Amino acid sequence: MPEGHTIHRLARDHRRKLTGGPLAISSPQGRAADAAAVLDGGELRDVDAFGKHLLYRFTTAAGEERTLHVHLGLFGRFRPRRVPPPEPRGQLRLRIVGAEHAADLSGPTACALMDPAEEHALLARLGPDPLRADADPARFLDALARRRISIAQALMDQSVIAGVGNVYRAEALHAERLDPHLPARELGEDRAAALWMRIAAQLADGVEDNRIVTAPGAREKPGRVRRSEAVCVYRRTACWTCGGSISSQKLVGRVLWWCPACQPAAGVSAPASSARR
């Protein structure tokens, strides 16, 4: 599932490429035909990103203000297209065509018009999004302080923090040397605040790079960075930092990766030789 950096990058790109003029909107697959009929010929005014949700703000050809909600889920994907775009192929839920740019959406979990009450209910369920200027980190700290579940479980709860997925969960916890099994409420305010800042920084780098690169120094390397060089623990067999074996387990429906040496359980000290690079 795309994580928050991908969603914010899409919002930024679509805001730049698709706003400012009338759009031809269709649903080749037919499943979003009702929404497409309302929005076709209208103008995209703005795109908001909240965690893993996209909200497209339209003024319709009839002069009405409408919002299209898109959640990519596990299989959803936007593909940029040239203008004119090629003939639709596959299960295209939505096609958006402007004067110079176009985008095809396939496989989303959600793609439908949303009224103000539905939008309010959606946003009320979400925790703060570290990539938004209006995010309140105190909400994150308060949410952790009230949860007995592990910090690794809490980070996957979108009502605790919006936009974090499996990769950033593993990488942020490793960067802060936190035992993923530590109960969230035992983290403490200082470590929780540091974790928030770490996640915010990693997500912001992801938006700029349009990819996840969390290993120290990897962003500065010229050329393409291989996945094995881009992350410290996620889907690795050996820790990028200390070279020790990576542990993994199924947690909250996803596989969690961590380094027991760099992220020791409470009362266990990390070895002095843990930093090799």
Point out the residues that are catalytic.
2-3, 52, 254
Terminal CA-CA length for the chain: 31
Distance, in Å, from the CA atom of 160 to the CA atom of 180, rounded to the nearest integer, reads 16
State the Cα angle at 25 between 87 and 19, rounded to 5°: 115
